[in-house]
Amino acid sequence: MKKIHIIFCMILAAAGISVSAQEASFSGSVKSAAGVYVYGEDNAGHVSLAEETVSGTLDASAGSCSAYATGNVSFDALAAAQTGTLSAADGLSSQLGEAWFAWTSAAFGDGLTAGIKAGRQITAWGKADGIRIADVLCPQDLTTLYASTYSESRLGVDALKLNLSGTVFSADAYWIPVFRPSALPLESTNPLRKIVIPESVTVSGTTIPVTLGSIERPELTLAAGSYAGRVSFWLPAIDFSLYGYYGWDDTPVVTYSLVMSGYTPTGITVSGNYYRYGMAGFDAALPAGPFVFRAESAFFIERAFARTAETVLAGGSPYLRKNQLMSLAGIDWTRSGWTVTAQYYEDIVPGWDDTLDRRMRAPGATLSVSRSFLSDTLTLALSGAVNWNDFDSYASLSADYALTDQVTLTLAADGFFPGPDGDGEYGVYKELSNVRLNGVYRF
């Protein structure tokens, strides 16, 4: 970790030196966030968030070449306090979000531009908002519920990108030689851990502890890379893209094994493995008056799905490969400061069987409404999502106020609501419902 800190500081220092020497800019922010849980006998009133983050971005260019680097250093006071030592170092973390250089040339005639981009980069695919359909290129940061932007919710991949673009199209090819998984909330201080891995389970009336075993990553060999491609068209009547991906699933398939003492189970060990799959997808956006209609679909080929703990503990294989189809339809409406978006999505596994640790269908819907006031210095937003299977839901209410052009304050509340017959996907987080306040200074 110290090594990462040093590298990040070197980047910042280099930025400060070079800004005045060439066409380069350095910007950043200082963010302070605090929050409190509002639900649950054990949780309500407890601090949910106490974090300071310093971010920096270097953006440089010279002729047809450019370079970009962004990273942050965070101090999580809550994590530091929970380790018992209350030291700054225990709560410190840093992350290199992106660091790439690019070369672009328009010297190919007929309006064609070709380019290369190499290094850690974040790329977003698809037309969906907040729902992952074809957007598989970059892994997710699943360690927090408080990511406020897409960039904060994703991890950069170390990739080589080739691009060819014209007036109405762009074609990208990616080679990702080094696998990077989604970040999972496995730290003991992370409140999400107990939802991913329960502390104990009851087997035949006996409560036994659950421990985390190893999560095996693919070997770092040339043959173990991932490959992807996108072709996009932007036409007066419609935008559409085609996607292809062959590579690693960035979330592991979880498996279970019993720890035995003689013939008596004394614990369960949870471990995981990553598997490859293929994906073919498309998206489209059609403007029509004040509306924009959006669609996105992805077909996953031979994806590995975890089987239920009962199946695995009874000696079954830990996963089955099945095809999967995910689709989304959405509509945006914008008028006079109002923005409304609504989406419906389906997630289906054809050939599903009841040993899989998921349902055959997982449909859902999202709704977002926002309105700006006071010369756009105040924005109120309400967004929510509901799962169709259990009718569990999530809702967020936020108010952003720009105190000055540099300082923005945000008051937000997140609520997770179980369905009538069970927690469901959102309801399991109900005790993490919270209210939080952020302040950001940007420079």
Q: Which residues bind another protein (CB under 8 A)?
A: 25, 27, 29, 59, 61, 102, 104, 106, 111, 113, 115, 122-127, 149-151, 154, 163, 165-170, 232, 234, 236, 239, 285-287, 289-292, 294, 332-337, 339, 372, 374-377, 379, 402, 404-406, 408, 440, 442-443
Kindly tell me which of 18 and 269 has the beta carbon lying closer to another protein: 18
Task: Assess contact for 416 and 430: CB atoms under 8 A.
Answer: yes
Kindly tell me which of 58 and 432 has the beta carbon lying closer to another protein: 58
Kindly tell me which of 259 and 292 has the beta carbon lying closer to another protein: 292
Q: Residue 10, class by beta-carbon neighbours within 10 Å (0-12 exposed, 13-18 middle, 19+ buried)?
A: exposed
**Listed residue (181, 180, 192, 186) closest to 147, CA to CA:** 192
In DSSP terms, 402 is beta-bridged to: 408
Kindly tell me which of 201 and 340 has the beta carbon lying closer to another protein: 340
The length of the chain, given as a count of residues? 443
Core vs surface per residue 133-159: b (16+ CB within 10 A) or e: bbbbbbbbbbbbbbeeeebebbbbbeb
**Cβ 80 to another protein shortest distance, Å:** 28
**Cβ 11 to another protein shortest distance, Å:** 18
**Cβ 119 to another protein shortest distance, Å:** 15
**Cβ 239 to another protein shortest distance, Å:** 5
Kindly tell me which of 133 and 270 has the beta carbon lying closer to another protein: 133
**Cβ 129 to another protein shortest distance, Å:** 9
In DSSP terms, 259 is beta-bridged to: 267
**Cβ 359 to another protein shortest distance, Å:** 30
Kindly tell me which of 113 and 355 has the beta carbon lying closer to another protein: 113
**Listed residue (218, 254, 102, 228) closest to 176, CA to CA:** 228
**Cβ 412 to another protein shortest distance, Å:** 16
Kindly tell me which of 150 and 188 has the beta carbon lying closer to another protein: 150
Name residues whose C-beta falls within 8 Å of residue 281's C-beta, 6 or more positions apart in sequence: 125, 126, 133, 134, 242, 243, 244, 245, 296, 297, 298, 299
CB neighbourhood size of 222 (10 A):
6
Task: Assess contact for 116 and 103: CB atoms under 8 A.
Answer: yes
Kindly tell me which of 36 and 147 has the beta carbon lying closer to another protein: 147
Q: Could you give the CA distance from residue 435 to residue 137 in angstroms, rounded to a whole number?
A: 32
Kindly tell me which of 25 and 317 has the beta carbon lying closer to another protein: 25
**Cβ 3 to another protein shortest distance, Å:** 27
Q: Could you give the CA distance from residue 220 to residue 246 in angstroms, rounded to a whole number?
A: 16
**The pair of three-digit structure tokens given for residue 435, joined into one six-digit string:** 């209210």
Task: Assess contact for 22 and 62: CB atoms under 8 A.
Answer: yes
**Cβ 245 to another protein shortest distance, Å:** 16
**Cβ 165 to another protein shortest distance, Å:** 4
Q: Could you give the CA distance from residue 170 to residue 185 in angstroms, rounded to a whole number?
A: 36
Kindly tell me which of 239 and 390 has the beta carbon lying closer to another protein: 239
DSSP string, 105-169: E-TTSTT-EEEEEEEEE----SS-SS--SS--SS-BBTT-S---SHHHHB--EEEEEEEEE-SSE
